[in-house]
Amino acid sequence: MSLRSPLDLRLYLVTDAPERCRYGLLETVKRAVQGGVTVVQYRREHADHETMLQEARPLREYLRSVGIPFIVNNEVELARELDADGVHVGQGDMPAAEVRRRVGEKMRIGLSVSNESEMRAVDPAVVDYVGCGPVFSTATKPDAAPAVGVEGWAALSALSPLPLVAIGGINVERARAIRAAGRCDGVAVVSAICAAEDPADAAEQLLSTQI
């Protein structure tokens, strides 16, 4: 029996670099949470461990105070040090089975999937949810796999043995199309909230796309 309760994946915020968050990292996340974000993933590329720790610790403390799950992208040791609720890894990162060995049974693990073979290889005994995409091309992750499109995403999502979120270039209009195309437990966004003039309103609009 799993020790991990399911995540509410309806609106999954992946943070951008602080300088690309309209109100800075923490304040942008606070406003997004006010708008209804249900999960926050801290993602930071090209930064050292101490920088990430200084940025992520207040984020972790705030999210814990309001009961929103805090996920760390890729950095397993950072996730452990911060007692994160989860860690998310890609296909080129540490294998999910090794992540599970390091973090134990209580921490959630998310895995990025972009094609059928990767989806069929997902082990539900190890992984808790899947990030599926990119559905559309995105400037926030230049090394992402080719975009699969709405139809490709729908085909992949039908194969998922786990809850899944769509990710990659998603805005309100695209979120609505994705949700209408098939099974969708949630959408993950970066700039649609982080760069928004009003992150709370942006989150509310994205949540309104639920079928």
Beta bridge partners of 12: 39, 188
pTM: 0.95
Question: What is the DSSP pairing of strand 11-14 with strand 186-189?
Answer: parallel
Q: Which of 60, 141, 160, 174 is catalytic?
A: 141
Q: Which of 31, 44, 100, 112 is catalytic?
A: 112
Euclidean distance between CA atoms 190 and 79, whole angstroms: 20
Q: Give pLDDT, residue 25.
A: 98
Q: Which of 10, 30, 31, 43 is catalytic?
A: 43
H-state helical runs in the chain = 25-34, 49-66, 76-81, 96-103, 116-120, 149-157, 172-181, 191-194, 199-207
Single-letter amino acid, residue 43: R
Q: Give pLDDT, residue 1.
A: 42
Say what percent of the chain tops pLDDT 70.
96
Structural tokens at position 185: 């437990």
Q: Give pLDDT, residue 182.
A: 81
Tell me the per-residue pLDDT of 36-74, one tens digit each, with 9 for 90 and over. 999 999 999 999 999 999 999 999 999 999 999 999 999
Q: Give pLDDT, residue 115.
A: 95
Average pLDDT, the chain: 94
Tell me the per-residue pLDDT of 16-38, one tens digit each, with 9 for 90 and over. 999 999 999 999 999 999 999 99
Q: Is 43 annotated in the active site? A: yes
* Cβ 33 vs Cβ 92: under 8 Å: no
**CA pseudo-torsion sign 171, 172, 173, 174:** positive
Euclidean distance between CA atoms 25 and 44, whole angstroms: 11
Tell me the per-residue pLDDT of 76-86, one tens digit each, with 9 for 90 and over. 999 999 999 99
Q: Is 157 annotated in the active site? A: no
Euclidean distance between CA atoms 140 and 197, whole angstroms: 18
Tell me the per-residue pLDDT of 139-169, one tens digit each, with 9 for 90 and over. 766 666 789 999 999 999 999 999 999 999 9
Which one, of 128, 136, 139, 127, lies nearest residue 166 by Cα? 136
Single-letter amino acid, residue 95: P
